[in-house]
């Protein structure tokens, strides 16, 4: 029996994408073997790879100016790889920090800056407090973002998966090329990709399984990347070899294809956005209706449509809430270990019915325990 899975990532995948993988697992397209057993340079995998990219280009509306790349190592590797490629000597790498993932990106950029003789600058941070107590409740206004005049790029995290803080606009980067970690809010609504030098997203939320990152990057920006770093880390190498410089995670790319087919069948990003907004409204409305019982740390204007963060009055009640959720076949609602509390992730593949069931649990639990 499949459960109502609210995991933050790896997260629930569309059932049809998994069923297709099951049906094709032992014999892909009559070839007598799994897609996993095919050469990454053979025509069968080539067709899968091409279909995945072309569906993604169509669904997102990726302009011809931008490459679609698949990179290994997770979004965490990109935290290091981006400054390695694009923080040029004498220039500064700018960061807007709105949560834990932005912090990690800055921290890796600082290590790279030491190695490569560049600098790192926090152009804005909405963190309040220090160390383990640090909290993030909102995204900054454009006026709060102070880009360095010599910035090689400005990096921000469009959705902070742990803190539930989401940008509902593209922030102003001044003249600097804009780079976005969109790991947890990728491909759920129309976004003008032409505004970005580079967008990257770890796949394990809205796109597919873990271990692979989708990178959308302007061709001329990739070409300007540094050449004094190992070839394997240069995004130029990935682009020049159509993500096949070395052996890619072929099964992950195949599963992304299945997910892209599902998004297209469902009606593309318009349908995804409508459903996602409906789910988020159901859950936030249920929480707001019992605002004296539940505490929502994120300011309304910055609330994430993907990751709903909330607290109960004490840890005992949080445990009880999770127990009640389990009885109703709901899993994945425990908040990230660094911040505690609850987190409900409502990515594309979460059906509206699950959000309704969660809203019911939220209401029932407050009535019984409030």
CB of 130 to ligand PMP, least distance (A): 22
Closest to ligand PMP by CB, 148 or 181? 181
Does 74 engage in binding with ligand PMP (CB under 6 A)?
yes
Q: Helices 268-288 and 352-369 sit at what angle, rounded to 10 degrees?
A: 0
DSSP 171: P
Of the candidate residues 7, 125, 161, 311, the single one contacting ligand PMP (CB under 6 A)? 161
Does 348 engage in binding with ligand PMP (CB under 6 A)?
no
Of the candidate residues 6, 7, 9, 309, the single one contacting ligand PMP (CB under 6 A)? 9
Residues between 218 and 257 with contacts to ligand PMP, criterion CB under 6 A: none
H-type alpha helices, the chain:
15-24, 43-60, 74-86, 100-116, 219-223, 235-240, 250-266, 268-288, 315-327, 352-369
Does 216 engage in binding with ligand PMP (CB under 6 A)?
no
Tokens found for residue 251: 């099964």
Judged by CB under 6 A, the stretch of 87-95, 115-123, 179-187, 238-246 that binds ligand PMP is 179-187
Does 72 engage in binding with ligand PMP (CB under 6 A)?
no
Given a contact cutoff of 8 angstroms between Cβ atoms, the answer to whether 169 and 156 are in contact is no
Does 184 engage in binding with ligand PMP (CB under 6 A)?
yes
Site residue total, ligand PMP (CB under 6 A):
12
Q: Is 260 left (phi over 0), alpha (psi -120 to 50) or beta?
A: alpha
CB of 82 to ligand PMP, least distance (A): 12
For 291, half-sphere exposure in the C-beta direction (CA atoms, 13 angstrom radius) is 7
How many Å apart are CA 165 and CA 16, to the nearest integer? 30
Judged by CB under 6 A, the stretch of 27-35, 73-81, 239-247, 317-325 that binds ligand PMP is 73-81
Radius of gyration of the chain (CA): 21
CB of 10 to ligand PMP, least distance (A): 9
Residue 92 CB contacts under 8 Å (≥ 6 apart), including other chains: 118, 119, 120, 121, 148, 150, 151, 152
- Mark residues 98-127: x for contact with ligand PMP by CB under 6 A, - for none: ---x--------------------------
Of the candidate residues 183, 302, 345, 348, the single one contacting ligand PMP (CB under 6 A)? 183
Does 34 engage in binding with ligand PMP (CB under 6 A)?
no
CA angle 164/170/174 to nearest 5° reads 125
Pairing of strands 135-136, 127-128: antiparallel
CB of 205 to ligand PMP, least distance (A): 7
Q: Is the peptide bond before 265 cis (omega within 30 degrees of 0)?
A: no
Does 81 engage in binding with ligand PMP (CB under 6 A)?
no
Q: Which residues are catalytic?
A: 101, 181, 205
CB-closest chain residue to ligand PMP: 74
Residues forming contacts to ligand PMP in the complex (CB under 6 A) are 9, 74-76, 101, 157, 161, 181, 183-184, 202, 210
């Amino acid at each position: 029996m499949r459960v109502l899975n609210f995991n933050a990532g790896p997260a629930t995948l569309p059932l049809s994408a998994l069923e297709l993988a099951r049906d094709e697992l032992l014999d892909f397209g009559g070839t007598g073997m799994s897609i996993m057993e095919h050469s990454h340079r053979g025509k069968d995998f080539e067709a899968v790879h091409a279909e995945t990219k072309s569906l993604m280009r169509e669904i997102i509306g990726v302009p011809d100016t931008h490459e679609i790349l698949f990179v290994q190592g997770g979004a965490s590797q990109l935290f290091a790889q981006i400054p390695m490629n694009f923080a040029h000597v004498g220039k500064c790498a700018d960061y807007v920090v709105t949560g834990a993932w932005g912090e990690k990106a800055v921290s890796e950029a600082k290590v790279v800056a030491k190695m490569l003789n560049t600098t790192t600058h926090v152009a804005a941070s909405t963190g309040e407090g220090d160390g383990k107590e640090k909290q993030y409740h909102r995204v900054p206004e454009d006026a709060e973002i102070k880009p360095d005049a010599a910035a090689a790029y400005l990096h921000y995290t469009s959705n902070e998966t742990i803190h539930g803080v989401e940008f509902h606009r593209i922030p102003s980067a001044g003249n600097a090329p804009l780079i976005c970690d969109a790991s947890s809010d990728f491909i759920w609504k129309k976004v003008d990709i032409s505004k970005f030098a580079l967008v990257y997203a770890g796949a394990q939320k809205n796109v597919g399984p873990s271990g692979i990152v989708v990178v959308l990057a302007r061709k001329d920006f990739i070409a300007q990347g540094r050449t004094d770093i190992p070839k394997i880390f240069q995004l130029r190498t990935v682009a020049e070899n159509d993500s096949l410089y070395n052996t890619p995670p072929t099964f992950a790319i195949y599963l992304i294809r299945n997910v892209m087919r599902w998004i297209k069948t469902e009606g593309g990003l318009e349908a995804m956005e409508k459903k996602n907004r409906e789910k988020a409204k159901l859950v936030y409305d249920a929480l707001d209706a019992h605002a004296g019982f539940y505490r929502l740390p994120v300011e309304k204007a910055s609330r994430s449509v993907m990751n709903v963060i909330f607290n109960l009055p004490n840890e005992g009640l949080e445990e009880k809430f999770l127990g009640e959720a389990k009885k109703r076949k709901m899993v994945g609602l425990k908040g990230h270990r660094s911040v505690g509390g609850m987190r409900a992730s409502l990515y594309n593949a979460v059906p509206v019915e699950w959000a309704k069931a969660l809203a019911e649990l939220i209401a029932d639990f407050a009535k019984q325990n409030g």
